[in-house]
Amino acid sequence: MWAPVSKIFSWSSSSLYLWAFLIGIGFGFFLERAGFGNARKLALQFYFRDMSVLKVMFTAIVTAMIGLVYLSYLGILDMDRVYLNPTYVWPALVGGWIMGVGFIIGGYCPGTAGVGMATLKEDSFFYLFGALVGMLIYGELYPYFESFTTSGFWGKRYTLEKWLYLSPKVIAFAVLVVALLAFWAAEWAEKKFQSDAEKDVG
């Protein structure tokens, strides 16, 4: 076991922050490469005219997921030392839904708006300012709905493997199959809905 590297070798926070910066560069680079600095390109996902969001996101998830399963199978990566999000079902559902509505109205998510800002998309500046205000409001209102934010707690490290009683390998394979089906459907949908849209995306 030699990974997560920073934890096994107890890195100082300054070298960790340097890597955070470098990894961020990679993240922003590929988001922009995919065309995700453009809010319209992102939003057309919801009209089946440009399925890039689904394709990029699902490919990234499957790639990283298979990598994680493989590296931990080889005994290189200690998954127990990888941070996992806790599962709070109700805040996940409601918060996720609000984000989806914010996505179709605002045209961005926070990461892609950052890439939009870095490439001078004016609407992303308004989006980011709005997001900061939304977070400010959340923080200020937090004491009034604190109990809701911890409702539906299923576990600190509640993964699909615990939920479905399947091994990570089987789950990764199943997600891969679902992703391939989704890609096939996405290609079909684009052809069907894009005919008149192709001219006006630009």
The interface with another protein within residues 2-21 (CB under 8 A) comprises 3-7, 13, 16-21
Instruction: Print burial letters for 102-137: b (CB count within 10 Å at least 16), e (below 16).
Output: bbeebbbbeebbbbbbeeebebbeebbeebeeeeee
- Of the candidate residues 184, 185, 195, 201, the single one contacting another protein (CB under 8 A): 201
Site for another protein in 61-100 (CB under 8 A): 61-65, 67-68, 71, 77, 81-89, 91-100
Site for another protein in 39-58 (CB under 8 A): 39-41, 43-47, 49, 51-52, 55-58
Task: Establish if 102 lies at the interface with another protein (CB under 8 A).
Answer: yes
CA distance 193 to 47: 8
Name residues whose C-beta falls within 8 Å of residue 136's C-beta, 6 or more positions apart in sequence: none
**CA-based torsion, 97, 99, 102, 107: positive or negative:** negative
Task: Establish if 189 lies at the interface with another protein (CB under 8 A).
Answer: no
- Of the candidate residues 135, 170, 181, 185, the single one contacting another protein (CB under 8 A): 135
Task: Establish if 191 lies at the interface with another protein (CB under 8 A).
Answer: no
Site for another protein in 153-172 (CB under 8 A): 154, 157-163, 168, 171-172
Six-digit token string for 180: 């391939």
